[in-house]
Structure 1
Amino acid sequence: MTILRFAVSPLWETVAALRVLAEPGYHPVHRRWADWAGRKLRDLGEDPSLLTVLASRPVVPEFLIPTPGGRTISFDEEVSFLPTVAKPPRIAAAVAAEPLARPLLDNREEALGAVLDRFRAVHDAIVAPFWHRLEGVLQGDIERRGRRMVDAGAPAMLAELHQDVGYDHPDVVVHGRRVVPGDRDLVLVPSAFVWPDVYLRDSPVRLALVYPAHGFGSLWERPDVPTGHSLARLLGATRARLLLELERPGTVTELARRLGVTVGAVSQHLAVLRGAGLVVSRREGREVVSLRTSLGLALVVGEVP
């Protein structure tokens, strides 16, 4: 029986970001970010590893983008898991016919170590600086899709992910290709950088479908002048300040300290903002961290139609 679930993958976003930079004209919505990120990437110098080559292929090797086992995972956790996934048989199945990739087979430990080092450097340079905003969009999309699945069912939700995605029981249809999940999990991975396409990762263990996250286009917009007064008239002073503070993630205790109000008051205001789809919260250990969603960001920058 197929289990349908969602996951956020910072590792995939790093790979997808490299793919955008390899062909920026194909992704005009990311032009502002691409101009900035291209400079950051050039500052790192030439890629001494195989990461850029592997990430830019039409089909990214499976061992480079393992599907997360849960909804939320950190980049460090994902990248540290790669040596376990990138075993010689899986590497050989993906790139054995490509001479450029021979180092991964002939000297796997050294070549893979170079890939991991470059992975971390690229992530730190072009994704980590705005990950708090990006994660809010991705987590907000999951909340939105989850509510839609409850209201209309999984087939309707799947059909709304992208024009090239459909569901014809028991198959998932992607770009006209029928894929039978079987006993595999079907993991839906929202992404800011995959637009305008979808990306299917078809592996023996998990079937992952990467699709454009709702509201990703507002990521690169920033107001020239703070809109706190307008937000305060709309939401009330405390909720407006809270939405502005959630430019970066925060726990209830942290937000209460930053706003100078009680923990109870923050909890109540967050509940209202979550109900309106402006904020999403998730548990990290013993703490609950809140993030601004794409709708919350659009409201802050004045782009809500």
Structure 2
Amino acid sequence: MALRFAVSPLWETIAALRVLAAPGAFPVHQRWSTWAAEQLERLGGDTSLLHVLVTRPVVPEFLIPTPGVRSVGIDVEVDALAKASPERIAAAVADDPRVLEPDALPAVQRRLRDVHDAIIAPVWPRLEGVLQGDVERRGRRLVEAGGPTVLAELHPDVSFRNPVLTVNGRSVTLDERDLVLVPSAFTWPRPYLRDSPVRFALCYPAHGFGSLWERAAPARDALARLLGGTRARLLCELESPRTVTELATRLGVTVGAVSQHLGVLRAAGLAVSRREGREVVSLRTGLGLALVQSQAP
């Protein structure tokens, strides 16, 4: 078994729709839910089968392909749905032949993109900071203590006795397939195990997701007194992923100075950095978000 991490904007979109389908059941997301429901209303009614599919007790496997890399874009994930064979779709939703109609899957793909753009994309920098921060935190734990310890610490409903993984009382034997850990802001209060032909995925509540929609935070001048002026400005700029060169240009300082300040923010758990192609981009974490004045979604 190979243990990996991934952040999935597609899963966050689907999990968010499941939250919206149960009004009042997720008070931690109430502020976001009120805003998101208004955005969906502006989109108009869902003429695809998306709502039916995402609100089933178990989301159909073909609708949530597990990413093969740590970070992936929503367009890549949605386009990948077209690769699902009719046999695979029928196996997942045998009781609903409408899904096999020629226009069904393309309609679901279009609706998914529209929904993502409406309720996830505007808050994605905030969400991604929490999710990538969780990956960074647990990745360090993986190096320090190993996979079994990381799995044991994920959630009370997760246990692992090699080679058997148990999630919410359901046990699976981990074979040669990868196990991908997918942090989520909307998978709460219980984790969610996804079984696909290629790899297992375990979606779990990300560390720090509960503070996502809070308004309270120090004023900018107080943040500058706490961190220093340059680091405070740097943390504010890290709302979306940026390279060292971009940050240096925006702040009017040298690349070396940005690198040094980023190192301090990473060490304090306020920012994370990752490689995207030939570039290294940085983003603030959920803890970093808590130190920056937050705006309504």
TM norm structure 2: 0.95
Corresponding pairs, count: 294
1:45 is aligned to 44
1:22 is aligned to 21
Matched-pair contact (CA < 8 Å) for 1:231–1:300: yes
Please say if 1:292 is aligned against 2:281: no
The gaps in structure 1 that reach 5 residues or longer are none
C-alpha displacement of 1:240? 1.1
Give the whole-Å Cα distance in 1 for the aligned partners of 2:95 and 2:80: 25
C-alpha displacement of 1:301? 4.9
1:60 is paired with a residue of what secondary structure? coil
C-alpha displacement of 1:183? 0.6
Matched-pair contact (CA < 8 Å) for 1:174–1:200: yes
1:129 is aligned to 122
C-alpha displacement of 1:204? 2.6
The amino acid that maps onto 1:247 is E
C-alpha displacement of 1:211? 0.2
Q: 2:94 aligns with which of 72, 96, 99?
A: 96
The amino acid that maps onto 1:66 is P
2:85 is aligned to 87
Give the whole-Å Cα distance in 1 for the aligned partners of 2:231 and 2:159: 39
2:154 is paired with a residue of what secondary structure? coil
Please say if 1:111 is aligned against 2:104: yes
Matched-pair contact (CA < 8 Å) for 1:228–1:244: no
Alignment of 1:1-305 (within 5 A): 2-84=1-83, 86-98=84-96, 102-105=97-100, 107-108=101-102, 110-223=103-216, 227-301=219-293
Q: Give identity over the alignment, percent.
A: 70
Give the whole-Å Cα distance in 2 for the aligned partners of 1:61 and 1:75: 18
Give the whole-Å Cα distance in 2 for the aligned partners of 1:261 and 1:191: 35
Give the whole-Å Cα distance in 1 for the aligned partners of 2:240 and 2:95: 44
Give the whole-Å Cα distance in 2 for the aligned partners of 1:202 and 1:252: 38
1:179 is paired with a residue of what secondary structure? strand
C-alpha displacement of 1:223? 4.1
The amino acid that maps onto 2:94 is A
C-alpha displacement of 1:200? 0.4
Matched-pair contact (CA < 8 Å) for 1:221–1:301: no
Give the whole-Å Cα distance in 2 for the aligned partners of 1:204 and 1:123: 26
The amino acid that maps onto 2:197 is P
The amino acid that maps onto 1:160 is E
Give the whole-Å Cα distance in 2 for the aligned partners of 1:288 and 1:138: 17
Output one character per residue of 1:93-120: Cα deviation in whole Å (capped at 9) or x when no partner.
011223xxx2322x23x11111111011
The gaps in structure 2 that reach 5 residues or longer are none
C-alpha displacement of 1:266? 0.5
The amino acid that maps onto 2:25 is Y
Give the whole-Å Cα distance in 1 for the aligned partners of 2:3 and 2:146: 12
1:96 is paired with a residue of what secondary structure? coil
The amino acid that maps onto 1:29 is V
C-alpha displacement of 1:53? 0.6
2:197 is paired with a residue of what secondary structure? coil
1:258 is paired with a residue of what secondary structure? helix
1:160 is paired with a residue of what secondary structure? helix
Matched-pair contact (CA < 8 Å) for 2:168–2:190: no
The amino acid that maps onto 1:155 is P
Matched-pair contact (CA < 8 Å) for 1:29–1:217: yes
1:24 is paired with a residue of what secondary structure? coil
Instruction: Indicate the larger mover: 252-261 or 42-51.
Output: 252-261
Output one character per residue of 1:166-217: Cα deviation in whole Å (capped at 9) or x when no partner.
1111111111222111111000000000011110001232110000000111
C-alpha displacement of 1:157? 1.2
The amino acid that maps onto 1:256 is A
1:234 is paired with a residue of what secondary structure? helix
Give the whole-Å Cα distance in 2 for the aligned partners of 1:72 and 1:95: 28
